[in-house]
Structure 1
């Protein structure tokens, strides 16, 4: 199945269909990302930020665990990688919790704007 998909994409490269698929994927990703802030705002009226973050992290963990185990079986993941990933996940979850708490006190558009600025801030912090 994967070989057939790669063959299809290799033939389609440069075609209008390939460009339309790429553009559609970009629009869909933007739509999902943008609407998530409205859903976060709505969920903050029902649950607290910690519960929201815990639920989101649990769903991500359950979803990604099979991929992690598959990589472990291939020898790609070692203890150091796992430890670094765990620490990164804790930092990310803390950021999500703070973002959810902040969204409860502002509009979804401002929350999306501030979150979008984080990619710009990274360059200033690392420079």
Structure 2
């Protein structure tokens, strides 16, 4: 039942992020990518602060012991990974098409199990098959057989690796700290760091920032505050690789949102890509993942 709850939460996160991808593209017409990222992360942080009194109730019944030093290192690492992932993705969108950016970002479905192997995470063979199938679906949905190579692609690719690292670290943290504090620390750290970069680099026009307040509210409250908190709660029960496969649905919902909001048309190949991703999700469910305590028993992160 807990696995089903985790899957439902991750599905909701994928919907929010998919729609949020379109909202982010709309906001790029008014402000720089780093400024937008920093402001939305801090808005997300503020939206979660009222939940602090509920922090212990949302934590796992039994938290794994960890020193304050290791916990702080983990939180800092997750915050850094979130900073790099968000900024590189937004910066890459300036130089590449949304379709290719969506495909490359979705490659975290590959990077999560690959990075996980390096730190001793167990990955089932069914998950590897699901990863390959979902990656093929992402390609059909986003690139449509005509990829182009430019600097923006490289930025988004590096961002995808950063998001994979963020998922792995969050999976480790989820068993050692309550999800509210994990999410707040990550977003606050990433938001402050990102704005410190934005001020000298982009010299933001705060009038322009205020002009996109609807996009900032959606991206901050929902795509950051709600989504990252739900992701952290879900990762108490869902393995990182399993999480990545489900979140690959972000590309499907992003394509749907592009059609509904921006009147973008889905081709036959894109529809096939959506169906292939769904097949990958089904494959990931064929054999329920082991409990996280068993799954990570041999990981050097423990």
Gaps of 5+ in 2: 1-148, 260-302
- Name which of 184, 190, 194 aligns with 1:60: 190
Shift in Å, 1:108: 0.6
The count of aligned residue pairs is 106
Shift in Å, 1:117: 1.4
SS at match of 2:204: helix
Distance in 1 between residues matched to 2:212 and 2:251, nearest whole Å: 24
Counterpart in the other structure of 1:112: 244
Matches within 5 A, 1:33-52: 33-52=163-182
Gaps of 5+ in 1: 1-18
Distance in 2 between residues matched to 1:30 and 1:83, nearest whole Å: 26
Task: Render the CA deviation track for 1:32-77: whole Å, top value 9, x for unaligned.
Answer: 322322211101111111111111111122123342682126x5x2
Question: In 2 relative to 1, CA 65–34 (structure 1 residues): closer, same or farther, beyond 3 Å?
Answer: closer
Counterpart in the other structure of 1:89: 220
Hey, which of these two has a bigger chunk of helix by percent?
1
TM-score under structure 1 normalisation? 0.65
Question: In 2 relative to 1, CA 125–63 (structure 1 residues): closer, same or farther, beyond 3 Å?
Answer: same
Counterpart in the other structure of 1:79: 210
Question: In 2 relative to 1, CA 58–105 (structure 1 residues): closer, same or farther, beyond 3 Å?
Answer: same
Counterpart in the other structure of 1:13: none
Task: Render the CA deviation track for 1:73-106: whole Å, top value 9, x for unaligned.
Answer: 6x5x242324541442111221110011111111
